[in-house]
Chain A
Amino acid sequence: MLGVGAYRTRNLPTGSELLPLPIGEMTWTLTDHLGRSVRPKDWAGRPTIVFFGFTWCPDVCPTTLSDISLWLEELGADADRMIVALISVDPERDTPDVLADYVSNFDPRIMGLTGSADEVAQAAADFRATYRRVDKDAGDYTMDHTAGVFLFHPDGRFASIIDFHEDRRFAVPKIRRTLS
């Protein structure tokens, strides 16, 4: 029963401080993997998938990108008008060029977004995502970050979250509900 409660809480309509703002109310500015400036208003009218990650991440991020690529393939041309974006939580290392190299390994509908530390912080705040730098030996570091995939309706309303490794049988219908 606990699981059902948690599921419902995470899929509530907007209004909670813990859920992403409607895209139209967001204020971030980021740069895509082709070096172009992107703002929330550029996504108006399009169903949207957003997740946070970074290219130095060996396990969670490529796995999520592989999952999303499979979902998009299953949706086929229906997903062509979607915005699908990876927002880097490691802008220090993830330049647009690095992101271009990285996203080229996955479905071509996936874009990479990065920016200054402040710009990324603003985006995370708008999406209610969190991330944290974890220092390791010899100046190396990794990032803890929100692992879920955010879905939005074409009018910018938050729709739902696909949890990390959620079964494709549930993920694809969730996305489909944002397409109509």
Chain B
Amino acid sequence: MDEAPSNGAGDLRVWHHPVLGELQEARPVQITVDGQPLVAREGEVIAAALLAHGILVCRAMPRGREPRGVFCALGRCSDCLITVDGEPNVRACLTPVREGQVIWTQAGLGRWEGPAG
């Protein structure tokens, strides 16, 4: 990634920072979220990739389908549970992005659609 992507409105990345300096280049990683392709940065967690693209909702709660997103980002609150490659209840704030990852925002406790076992 040579420059800030053109999708300015949705791009929430901090490219310049007075203490941390310029954001270093990272290898782009292609993932899909609810069927839409999205370019993440190698090394980042799913929650950061979603947030950078303005996607805030990770799941709908069992009661009332109340939407939830990243709350603690430390793996403690489990608000950011999401379905990754068919496996439900993956913590988006702790799980790194991987090339080709298929991510679905999750309804309730999710449904297992991953490989058996």
A and B co-occur in one complex: no
Interface residues of A (CB under 8 A from B): none
